[in-house]
Chain A
Amino acid sequence: MASYTARRLLSAVLVIFGVTLATFLLMHIEPGDPARSVLGIRASPSAVAALRREWGLNSSVPVQLGRFLGQLFQGNLGQSYIYHVSTASLIASRVGQTAALVAVAALFAVVISVPLATLAAARKEGVADHLVRGFSVVGLALPAFWFGILLIEIFAVHLHVLPVGGAGSGFGGHLKALVLPAFTASLAIVPILVRSLRVGMIEVLDSEFVAVARAKGLGEVRVLFSHVARNALLPTVTLLGLNIAFLIGSTVVVEQVFNLNGLGSLLLSAILNRDFPVVQATTLVLGAGVVIVNLGTDLLAARLDPRIRLR
């Protein structure tokens, strides 16, 4: 396990370095002058020159990269041009909201997809299977933001059972405010999870140990839960890890719909304000977050299944 962990850790560090490099380059391939695009067309040349000096844009790209990495190691992600506070503090105040949303959405995704996939696999080619597969096809085509709007209309505007948007107050209020956004975000990955899990479960159902369990005279429910579902746990963890990037990406959109102050809405407002340092730092944090979650799920999967460590 130790050598697997070390290998996995090393590759995660390398990918995070690559992610850092990519976010740095992203801000440097812009055809125009970032200082000019922040200040607008009417800014005086001296103001543009001053901002260029402040941001160190006059040095060569490798020198800028060196400075960027140096500051990064000291935990300095730069200064927001719009809010005049450190980007790190902006991110720190927003990251909790996004993390909570992603965590609840991941939980919803598992709670929804595992029973659906089990049902579809157990009734392969039956009515339930066709319904579940139909649902997953429609789900893939469902724009999350549009579905979120419909949910708000039904559950908040008409039924008044859940809030329209915002974070809510108190622990109960926070949780209540997370239900609709998390459900909306989870639908982005439920179809993918259901499809893969269904195939995996059908394989398990065809395997010899399931035949043995049935031959022993175990009931079908018992076979499904203690033999099939247990073996489906591992692929669920792995799949969730693989799709976490997509889930985090869809929270960017969902935060906007439900008016939540997380990293996604920070990124979008920074983009509209052309706040370079904030765009760069948020992209970096979200990318690094995905790498860390992937690392976590890989290590968890290796703990659950020793065979993985040998690969």
Chain B
Amino acid sequence: MTSVLSPGQAPLTATKQPHSRSVFIYRATHSKTFIAGSVLTVGLILVAVLAPVISPYSPNHQDLYDILGGFSSKHLLGTDELGRDELSRLLWATRTDLRLGFLAVIFPFFFGTAVGTLAGYYGGWLDSGVMRVVEVLIAFPFYVLVIGLIFVVGTGTTGIIVAFAVVDWIIYARAVRSTTLVVRESDYVAAAKSGGLPTWRILWRHVLPNTVTQSVVYLTSDIVLVIVAVVTLGYLGLGVQPPTPDWGTMISEGQEFLTTTWGLATIPGVAVVITGLALSLLGDGLADVLRPR
């Protein structure tokens, strides 16, 4: 291990790839945060993928003889006001909300990173144009703009994905732009330029690898924000529409029965917190693992 990390032993002619990969593996296997985050996240993804297999019932199956039933051996987490198995709905909701969270951040991640890199590298009117748009969008309270967009596009999965596509890229663009401004002035970019490399190659091979790390780290905390937002929109009746299982609608449906069947509203919330915790730990761990030497 020390042979990899001690700077004296790194030969000057070594190519960057194998060196950085072994450092990555070393750091990844030694960061408790990263390990905990990855294990939890992989566990959640497995739950989402295997929901149809591991759920005891179909999420919409109604047991009309057991409505608002408490914890029992037949229904481990009880049943809701329509006699649906709470555990099955919880597992299926993991599938709905994780999938939606991931889908909603894909476009912002790629678009924001690309726009930020181009704006930072080229500067000029492109940069000032992008920054004006960012300033205006950032002035809106996050939920207000998202809700306004969903009003226009319509509720449900499409509405959520479009709303986040419009709002969420600005954070990536802003962060990547400021890193690009620094990278642009570096010696290796100057060397690449004077070597006569085409601009696309400089951007792709020399700028982007140095700016994308930040986006990747931000991505994990952004997914937390987006999943919490998806659940919140579901609660407000603007997100995932019933009867599709979703933590937010489960909480809003269960809220009515809080005094009698407290599990209906509280357990889905715990699921959200665990999901957020998993992804936050993964993000913090990634930041440790990927931090520049």
Contacts and interface: CB of A to CB of B under 8 A. Distances in A.
Nearest to A248: B141
Nearest to A20: B136
B136 to A, nearest CB: 4
Interface stretch (B17-25, B56-64, B272-280): B272-280
Given A18-B135, A137-B281, A27 B141 contact: no
B132 A140 contact: no
Interface string A255-290: 010000000000110011010000100110011001
B141 A138 contact: no
A287 B266 contact: no
Given A146-B269, A146-B272, A290-B141, A15 B136 contact: yes
B: contact size bracket: 35 or more
Contact of A141 (B259, B275, B284): B275
B262 A153 contact: yes
Given A15-B135, A141-B275, A145-B251, A30 B152 contact: yes
Interface stretch (B3-11, B77-85, B88-96, B232-240): B232-240
Nearest to B143: A249
A40 B263 CA distance: 39
A302 to B, nearest CB: 18
A249 B281 CA distance: 25
Interface string B33-65: 000000000000000000000000000000000
Contact of B238 (A23, A142, A271, A283): A271
A149 B140 contact: no
A157 interface: yes
Contact of B273 (A19, A141, A245, A291): A141
A287 B259 contact: no
A23 B224 CA distance: 27
Interface residues of A, number: 49
A141 B144 contact: no
Contacts of B122: none
Contact of B144 (A15, A21, A29, A249): A249
B145 interface: yes
A22 interface: yes
A116 interface: no
Given A141-B280, A149-B255, A252 B141 contact: yes
Contacts of B144: 248-249, 252, 267, 282-283, 286-287
A18 B275 CA distance: 36
Given A137-B277, A149-B265, A249 B135 contact: no
A143 interface: yes
A155 B18 CA distance: 57
Contacts of B132: 14, 18
B219 interface: no
A250 interface: yes
A78 to B, nearest CB: 15
Contacts of B145: 283, 287
Interface in A123-161: 137-138, 140-147, 149-150, 153, 157
Contact of B148 (A142, A150, A272, A283): A283
A267 B147 contact: yes
Nearest to B146: A249
A145 B235 contact: yes
B232 A143 contact: yes
B204 interface: no
A194 interface: no
A199 interface: no
Given A137-B280, A252-B147, A19 B140 contact: yes
Interface string A232-245: 00000000000001
A253 interface: yes
Contacts of A21: 136
B173 interface: no
A82 interface: no
B147 A245 contact: no
11 contacts: A11-B135, A15-B135, A18-B135, A141-B275, A146-B231, A146-B235, A149-B251, A247-B141, A271-B238, A283-B140, A287-B140
Given A143-B231, A252-B144, 13 more contacts: A14-B132, A18-B132, A30-B152, A140-B225, A141-B224, A142-B273, A143-B235, A143-B251, A149-B265, A250-B143, A252-B147, A271-B148, A286-B140
Interface of B: 132-133, 135-145, 147-152, 221, 224-225, 228, 231-232, 235-238, 248, 251, 255, 258-259, 262, 265-266, 268-269, 272-273, 275-277, 279-281, 284
